């Protein structure tokens, strides 16, 4: 049965719409509004997490296992998605119930809504294998050992070619470049897409820049209120550049930060956990993560080395537009320091395919190499199609296979 998407959730993700509309509602983050977003109600007893998907069984975001079975899942632009559309490495914003720690020591909650967001969709214009980088729509994208690739891109960065259309999920760094958490092959993009900070806004020419990319907003100028240097925007672009490499916008969403937080009236008192890069830095207790201001003055033990450009995970409560931190942790681009999980990714489910000769099996569509794994509550000889397992591991060099460090039987 098809479920409808709550109006409040649609508006928070699509604020400026082009195409025959003279005006649109601008929903700015941190301005309240009192709507009920994704189950984080005015009572403030829920939770919100933003970051890449680290695992399945229930989706794992920010170290929290969110049961997404009954959640409403929304892609960029408000398109309804199914749980099966979610993939490792996709960046999501999850609203749900209060987090509780289970008997197994894992933090769990029930998701009521999941918003999926990618940063870039467009053609590859340059690839630097030595530096692990590629350029898409003029944007610099860093690939790391934790970047997940589409199954069609087995081989990682080396599988890409100039001119290929890709979709990039990731986190924007302080210098405006991106660290990819997932790269998908897109063979029939109707529009290109770009998300980032506005600079060089020129009202006379009706253009602005995201990084070095020049965007014309002339086609959507009537609904482009709120555009300003330093604002985050999501832009849909026509697939052919105009003279001077100017890309024409067909749609613009103005956002308050790189993370689409719940309206503050709904998030007050709820646990908020975000992962991203420090994009502004005043001191170790006053900084911003993906454009979200953070007050870490109440954190008992701050990690050493906090600075502009560091990747962090911040947990706290949203108050008056500021994330009042309870905990701040440094993250590494190539590793997840969440020691209780013992690996970069984790997957739970029933084996759907098994190849004992190659020592691989498939669970939730993910190929797992178990040749070097440690087994719990069973042995490799007990693996079989239909058996339920929990897998912890890291990505192989091909960017798609999970190298299992531990396989636990869960039946």
Question: pLDDT value at position 193?
Answer: 95
pLDDT of residue 271: 86
Chain centroid offset of residue 32 CA: 23
Chain segment 226-241, per-residue pLDDT in tens: 899 989 999 999 999 9
With beta carbons less than 8 A apart as the criterion, state whether 299 and 326 touch.
yes
Identify the weakest region by mean pLDDT among 17-31, 76-90, 115-129, 229-243.
Answer: 17-31
Per-residue pLDDT, 260: 79
- What confidence score (pLDDT) does residue 16 get? 33
Count CA atoms within 13 Å of residue 2 on its CB side: 4
pLDDT value at residue 335: 52
Tokens of 232: 């985050």
> How much is the pLDDT for 338?
43
Domains, the chain, ranges and CATH? Answer: 7-117 (2.40.50), 264-330 (2.40.50.140), 345-409 (2.40.50.320)
Given a cut of 60, is residue 340 above it in pLDDT?
no
pLDDT digits (tens, 9 = 90+) for 186-204: 987 889 999 999 999 999 9
For the residues 330-358, what does the mean pLDDT come to? Answer: 76
282 DSSP assignment: E
Q: State the average pLDDT for the chain.
A: 85
- For residue 318, the model assigns a pLDDT of 87
End-to-end CA distance of the chain: 30
- Contact yes or no for 378/344 (Cβ under 8 A): no
Residue 295 has pLDDT above 80, yes or no: yes
Q: What pLDDT, on the 0 to 100 scale, is given for residue 268? A: 58
Percent of the chain with pLDDT over 90: 71
* 3-state secondary structure at position 376: strand
Q: Is the pLDDT of residue 155 over 90?
A: yes
278 — pLDDT class (breaks 50, 70, 90): very high
Taking the C-alpha atoms of residue 283 and residue 281, their distance in angstroms, rounded to an integer, is 6
**DSSP-derived secondary structure for 117-152:** E-SEEEEEEEEETTTTEEEETTEEEE--TT-EE-GG
Residue 174: strand, helix, or coil: coil
pLDDT at 319: 86
Q: How many CB atoms lie within 10 A of CB 86?
A: 18
pLDDT > 70 fraction of the chain, expressed in percent and rounded: 85
- Report how far residue 66's alpha carbon sits from residue 45's, in angstroms, rounded to the nearest whole number: 15
Q: What is the pTM of this model?
A: 0.85
State pLDDT tens for residues 127-140. Answer: 999 999 999 999 99
């Amino acid at each position: 049965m098809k479920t409808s998407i709550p109006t409040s959730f649609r508006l928070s993700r699509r604020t400026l719409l082009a195409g025959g509309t003279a005006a649109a509602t601008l929903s700015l983050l941190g301005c309240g509004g009192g709507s009920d977003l994704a189950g984080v109600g005015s009572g403030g007893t829920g939770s919100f997490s933003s970051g890449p998907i680290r695992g399945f069984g229930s989706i794992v975001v920010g170290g929290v296992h969110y049961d997404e079975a009954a959640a409403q899942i929304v892609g960029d632009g408000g398109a309804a998605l199914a749980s099966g559309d979610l993939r490792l490495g996709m960046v999501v914003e999850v609203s749900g119930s209060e987090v509780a720690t289970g008997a197994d020591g894992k933090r769990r909650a029930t998701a009521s809504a999941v918003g999926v967001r990618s940063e870039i969709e467009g053609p590859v214009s340059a690839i630097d294998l030595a530096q692990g980088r590629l350029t898409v729509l003029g944007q610099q994208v860093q690939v790391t050992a934790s970047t997940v690739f589409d199954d069609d891109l087995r081989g990682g960065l080396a599988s890409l070619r100039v001119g290929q259309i890709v979709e990039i999920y990731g986190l924007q760094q302080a210098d405006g470049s991106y660290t990819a958490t997932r790269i998908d092959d897109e063979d029939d993009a109707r529009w290109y897409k770009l998300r980032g900070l506005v600079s060089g806004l020129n009202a006379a020419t009706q253009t602005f820049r995201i990084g070095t990319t020049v965007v014309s907003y002339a086609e959507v100028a009537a609904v482009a209120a709120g555009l300003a240097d330093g604002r985050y925007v999501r832009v849909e672009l026509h697939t052919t550049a105009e003279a001077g490499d100017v890309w024409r916008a067909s749609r613009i969403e103005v956002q308050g930060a790189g993370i689409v937080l719940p309206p503050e009236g709904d998030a007050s008192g709820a646990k908020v956990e975000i992962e991203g890069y420090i994009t502004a830095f005043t001191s170790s207790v006053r900084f911003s993560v993906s454009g979200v201001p953070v007050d870490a003055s109440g954190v008992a033990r701050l990690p050493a080395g906090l600075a502009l450009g560091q990747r962090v995970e911040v947990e706290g409560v949203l108050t008056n537009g500021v994330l009042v931190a309870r905990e701040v942790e440094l993250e590494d681009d190539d590793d997840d320091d969440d020691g209780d999980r013992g690996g970069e990714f984790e997957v739970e489910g029933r084996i759907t395919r098994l190849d004992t000769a190659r020592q691989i099996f498939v669970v939730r569509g993910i190929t797992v190499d178990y040749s070097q794994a440690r087994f719990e509550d069973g042995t490799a000889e007990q693996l079989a199609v239909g058996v339920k397992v929990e897998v912890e591991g890291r990505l192989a060099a091909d960017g798609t296979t999970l190298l299992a460090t531990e396989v636990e039987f869960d039946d």
